[in-house]
Structure 1
């Protein structure tokens, strides 16, 4: 059964608009600046967690201590 050309054109235009909208959304999500800002925020939040922060400080102190011991021995 043949479809009305006007209906086909409307469907094509709707599909085109939906595709353009989807591409715009993907472009916003894949913005390198936004991705970098998000990663930086996540890392800072993780480093502010006491369960991560204090062990890292301890490891840093241990490394500095071992380096000083090696230098002055």
Structure 2
């Protein structure tokens, strides 16, 4: 059964609009600045967790003491 050319045109236009919308969403999600901001926020939140924060402080203090000790020799 043959389809009406106007119907085919409408379907093509709808497909184009859907594709354009999808491409816009992908462009937004793949934006390097947005990805960097998301990663930064995630890392900062992880560093605020006590089980991560305090061992890092301890390691930093140990490295600092070792540097001071080496400089005083």
Q: TM-score, normalised by structure 1?
A: 0.90
Counterpart of 2:49 in structure 1 is 49
Whether 2:30 is the aligned partner of 1:30: answer yes
Q: CA RMSD in A?
A: 1.1
- State the Cα distance separating 1:38 from its structure 2 match: 1.0
Structure 2: any 5+ residue segments left out of the alignment?
none
Aligned length: 73
Q: What CA distance in whole angstroms lies between the structure 2 residues aligned with 1:22 and 1:13?
A: 14
Q: What CA distance in whole angstroms lies between the structure 2 residues aligned with 1:2 and 1:49?
A: 65
Q: What CA distance in whole angstroms lies between the structure 2 residues aligned with 1:70 and 1:33?
A: 41
Counterpart of 2:62 in structure 1 is 62
Structure 1: any 5+ residue segments left out of the alignment?
none
Runs of 4+ in 1 over 6 A off after TM superposition: none
Q: Deviations over 1:33-56 (max 9, x none)?
A: 211211111111011100000000
